[in-house]
Amino acid sequence: MVGISAIIRNVKVLKAFIFIQKEVFFSRRFDLLLQFISLGLNILFIGIFAKLITINANISQYGTSNYLDYLLIGSIIHNLVFLPRGSISSFVLGRVFPVLYNSPASLTAIFIGINAWRILWNLGLTLAITVIYILFFGLTIHLNLGVAIVILSGVLLIFALDMFSAGFRIATKATQDPLNWFFNITAQLVSGLYFPPEALPKWLQPLSKIHPETYILQMGRLTMGGGYSLGQILPSLVNMLVITGVMLLLGYLTFRWGFNKARQLGTLGHM
């Protein structure tokens, strides 16, 4: 009974967050219009870019039949996987934390609540983009358990990284986020988001091999683009899940260390 009432209570907290964030979001109508315009331009340019470019690489090894599919599926997976980016930092380093820390609502519900609208909105946008890609660019996608697990594993990995980064930032009072920045920029440059890693200069290829996003994109393209089943990608996926598990543990420990250090230094909440 206690469990059910706690769930109901958490759902109410989530609803309250989503409602207030939706109010704020739609109060900026001009911003919303600009967001749609930039999204439209983005889709258009990516489509044109992908059609114009010829890549001297074996695209079919990634499960996608042409470069357009390679690029579009990569960008969908990247958008989905990066949804939790900055979620922990925005919660703990935000100005609202000190008050909410003492509210009776559970911290997990507050954490999800604070990020809920942003994640839901971006998820909606990614889905809309996917539909546009399918309808207007002839993209073919496959949906199976493998796709879901690859994306979930990627999301957890980014979440772990964010925990790691937030712990570091809380402890050091850093306003910059070099870790997330580095991961994001290298994800775009070396992981094969826009072009296959073998197109990179030789000296950059080792970085591509150790970058987790390379494997997320590879497995994502194989499952979503090539229709590979869970069983077919299992060996690589197991490695990925192990790395994710280790990163989650490391992220949690770093976050806990940073949080306690900030409480000792008196820097939590920056009042």
Partner 1 sequence: MIESVSLTKFYPPPIKSLLDLKSLKDFIKTPREEIPALIDLNFKVKEGEVFGLLGPNGAGKTTFCKIANALVIPTRGNLYINGYDSIKEHNKIKGRIFTIFGGERDLFGLFQWRVSVEKNLKFIAELWGIPKAEAEKRINYALELLNLKDKKNEWYQKLSAGMRQKVYLALPLILQPEVLILDEPTVYLDVFTRREVWNTILDLSKEFGTTIILTTHNLNEAEALCDRVLIFNKKKIAEGKPKELIEKFQALKMERKLLVKLRGKVETSNFNGIAEKIKVYSQNGFTYLEIYTKQDRLKDILAILTNYEVVDLQNETITLEDVFAHMCSLDIYVNSKVGEKVKKGVANI
Question: Which of 9, 55, 122, 227 contacts partner 1 by CB under 8 A?
Answer: 9
Closest CA to 160 of 236, 250, 242, 94: 250
Closest CA to 191 of 164, 221, 163: 221
Candidates 38-46, 68-76, 165-173, 263-271: pick the segment binding partner 1 (CB under 8 A). 263-271
Is 143 in contact with 154 (CB distance < 8 Å)? no
Stretch 141-160: interaction string toward partner 1, x if CB under 8 A: --------------------
Nearer to partner 1, 232 or 260 (CB): 260
Is 224 in contact with 142 (CB distance < 8 Å)? yes
Q: Per CB under 8 A, which of residues 86..145 are in contact with partner 1?
A: 94-105, 110
Nearer to partner 1, 24 or 52 (CB): 24
CA–CA–CA angle 191, 53, 75 (5° rounding): 40
Question: Which of 23, 127, 174, 231 contacts partner 1 by CB under 8 A?
Answer: 23
Nearer to partner 1, 82 or 91 (CB): 91
Q: Is 174 in the site for partner 1 (CB under 8 A)?
A: no
Strands (E), the chain: none
Alpha-carbon gap, residue 163 to 50, rounded angstroms: 35
Alpha-carbon gap, residue 236 to 219, rounded angstroms: 8
Nearer to partner 1, 53 or 96 (CB): 96
Is 56 in contact with 188 (CB distance < 8 Å)? no
Shortest distance (Å) from residue 102 CB to partner 1: 5
Interface positions with partner 1 (CB under 8 A): 9, 12-13, 15-17, 19-20, 23-24, 27-28, 94-105, 110, 260, 263-266, 268-269, 271
